[in-house]
Each structure stands twice: as structure tokens, then as C-alpha cells.
Chains A and B, each alone.
Chain A
Amino acid sequence: QVQLVQSGAEVKRPGASVRVSCKASGYTFTSYGITWVRQAPGQGLEWVGWISGYNGNTKYAQMLQGRVTMTTDTSTSTANMELRNLRSDDTAVYYCARETSCCPEAFDIWGQGTMITVSS
């Protein structure tokens, strides 16, 4: 079945970097974009950025520009998100999600989420 499986939870110190992976299966990886969304404890959903599965084009949330990089590895059908210079307010569950087949503005397949904790 179509699914996205994310890497496990991590605890990082302020100023460190973290990389979250999102492995896709059950569909043609290069036919769909992947978006990343985060949710701080007790808060709402916040868009982090998007990457094309076809050509690797990216779009990032302005507030994270310069600290976030998204990549894809088509040989393993995996999308990656790296966040650098971590701060305490980056503590959140990070989700990857796939575009729907018809409509790039909606995301119908979600990963299970990865908890990233930033603490000294």
C-alpha cells in the first residue's frame, strides 16, 4: 500500500543540526511532491516546505529560509529534511506528506511523524 515511513525521534542541543528522512513506498516517487509540516507541542500545524519528487525543486517557509534544506534520493524513494542551527522553538513533531494525485494543494498520505526535541 502507499505509505510514508519516517525516521525516529531525536534529541538535539541548541545550535546542532537534525536530518529527518521520509521513505516512500507503493507509488512512483518521482510523480509526486512531498511537503513537510511541523507541530509544536499543543500548537497547530505549520508548513515547513515542499520538494518536487520529479526534479527536486524546493519551496521553503520564509521563517526557516537559510536553516532548512530538503532533498530527495530517487534511488531509495526517500525525501530528507535537514534543519540547522536548532533552537528550542524548533521542538515539534515533523511530518512529511504526499500531494494528492489530482491536486498539488492537498496532501493525502502522511508519515507517522518524527519528534524532534531541542534542549540543552
Chain B
Amino acid sequence: QSVLTQPPSASGTPGQTVTISCSGSNSNIGRDAANWYQQVSGTAPKLIIYRNAQRPSGVPDRFSGSKSGTSASLAINGLQSEDEADYYCATWDDSLDGHYVFGTGTKVTVL
């Protein structure tokens, strides 16, 4: 049972903006950076945002992240068909002697 809560689904037409929320607590997002992973069906996850808002090399700038208090958000601006995937937020949690936690995941559908 994940301690990071995300909406199960989100959708938009090409060109629209989709925003995904990630709600945590003071033991995880409230004290550590939020990271986001994209997982296209049948493939390994891919890091798209780290340290709340940083993009790894090669990740399009239509992906952006932010964090406020115990919540984080991922925005996809100018949605494209190849953005259809599952998205997970993640960070370390300092409860239970420290462990890494993933969000519940959000399926993004491009209509």
C-alpha cells in the first residue's frame, strides 16, 4: 500500500496540458525531493523529473515538475501521442528505518 497518492487516470487531446498530482506526507515528499518516472506499457520505467523539477538530458521540455509542502505535481504541456503511459512519483521515506516509495501511479491517455 503506497503512501504517495496519485489519481488513477488522466487524459487529454494532443496539444493540451495534463497535470498529475502526488500527495505525500512530512516523512517523504515533505522532507525529500520528488521524482517522476514514465513507464510505457511493457518497458522499464524511465526517469523524467528528478529533484522536484530537473529534467535529465534528452527529456523534452514539455515535461515539468513542481513541489509544494507535502505534494508534488507533474505537468505535460503540449500532450503528444507518445506520452501515453503510466506515471509514478517517488522519493525516500524516513519512516520504518528508511525506504523508497512509489506513488500509486497515473495512467495518461491521449484521446
Q: Are chains A and B native binding partners rather than an unrelated pairing? A: yes
A binding-site residues for B, Cβ under 8 Å: 35, 37, 44-47, 50, 59, 61-62, 95, 97, 100, 102-103, 105-108, 110-113
Main secondary structure of the interface of B (DSSP, over half): strand
* Chain B proximity of A14: nearest CB distance (Å): 23
Q: How far is the CA of A39 from the CA of B82 in the complex (A)?
A: 22
* Chain B proximity of A82: nearest CB distance (Å): 19
Q: Is B62 an interface residue (CB 8 A)?
A: no
Q: How far is the CA of A43 from the CA of B28 in the complex (A)?
A: 22
Q: Is B37 an interface residue (CB 8 A)?
A: yes
Establish whether residues B50 and A106, one from each chain, have CB atoms under 8 Å apart when the complex forms: yes
A-B contact list, 20 entries, CB within 8 Å: A35-B100, A44-B88, A45-B90, A45-B102, A45-B105, A47-B100, A62-B99, A95-B45, A103-B33, A103-B50, A105-B35, A105-B91, A105-B100, A106-B33, A106-B47, A106-B50, A107-B47, A110-B44, A112-B44, A113-B44
